[in-house]
DNA sequence: AAAACATATCTATGTTTCTCGATATGTAAA
DNA sequence: TTTACATATCGAGAAACATAGATATGTTTT
């Protein structure tokens, strides 16, 4: 999962949404993360590719999706990400 | 590089050679790591595959090779491995 | 110097991953 | 209740990776 440059970048971007994405129009915070379109623009890959990536990261429990109207927002699952890093650091 | 199960396993095995490999015949320590043949036996993959893996990990600076007679021993490059883990923990 | 042995490299094939365009689905606006 | 929009899913081709067998290289033993 974390063997892909773009997916890792996305995780990093979502660490500080205010610094990496423009403000959303319908909501004035990043509490639920960032919408797919913004992530797509930033990554420069096709809509389907990004959607697939985000979906796979959600399946891996690295991201948490929230639907707001027609938009889907994705945010990091800090707990799982930290657990992964800790385990890796311990075992590797 | 660390996206491959076998390669990650090898790194883990080399963390504690005494526990994971039989003693070498020509030398009585693991100071320079473990010879290719033992790693191959443990991994259960072909000689060429393991040799290729070890070589690629050496190129990535994760392993340090030492030649003793006709054997090549590989050990972990702790410095680089730790730096990688620290950077990942900081950035991810 | 030849034979034996450990490892490295080459070549090839099957499998997985990346990536896209096309299409489907779900939601909101007209 | 169509139409428009955001995202998801499907199907396919190209690229990268995994892996093995054959062969080459380097080292030791005979």
Distance measured from the CA of protein residue B83 to the C1' of nucleotide C10, in angstroms: 34
Q: Is the pLDDT of residue B25 over 90?
A: no
pLDDT in tens, A9-45: 999 999 999 999 999 988 989 999 999 999 999 999 9
Q: CB distance B88–A88 less than 8 Å?
A: yes
Question: What pLDDT does residue B26 have?
Answer: 85
Q: Is the pLDDT of residue B88 over 90?
A: yes
Give mean pLDDT, residues A1-5: 96
Contacts of A88 in chain B (CB under 8 A): 85, 88
The residues close to strand C, meaning Cβ under 7 A, are A 3-4, 6, 45-49, 52, 67, 69-70; B 35-37, 40, 47-48, 51-52, 54-55, 65, 70-72
Kindly compute the dihedral angle of the four CA atoms of residues A90, B78, B53, B60, in this order, to the nearest 10 degrees: 110
Candidates B2, B12, B92: best to mutate against A (most CBs of A within 10 A) is B92
pLDDT in tens, B38-78: 999 999 999 999 999 999 999 999 999 999 999 999 999 99
């Amino acid at each position: 999962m974390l063997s892909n440059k773009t997916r890792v970048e996305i995780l990093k971007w979502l660490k500080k949404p205010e610094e990496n994405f423009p403000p959303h129009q319908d909501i004035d915070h990043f509490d639920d993360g960032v919408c797919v379109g913004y992530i797509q623009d930033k990554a420069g890959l096709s809509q389907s590719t990004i959607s697939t990536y985000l979906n796979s990261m959600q399946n891996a429990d690295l991201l948490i999706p929230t639907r707001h109207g027609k938009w889907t927002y994705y945010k990091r699952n800090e707990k799982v990400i930290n657990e992964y890093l800790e385990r890796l650091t311990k075992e590797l």
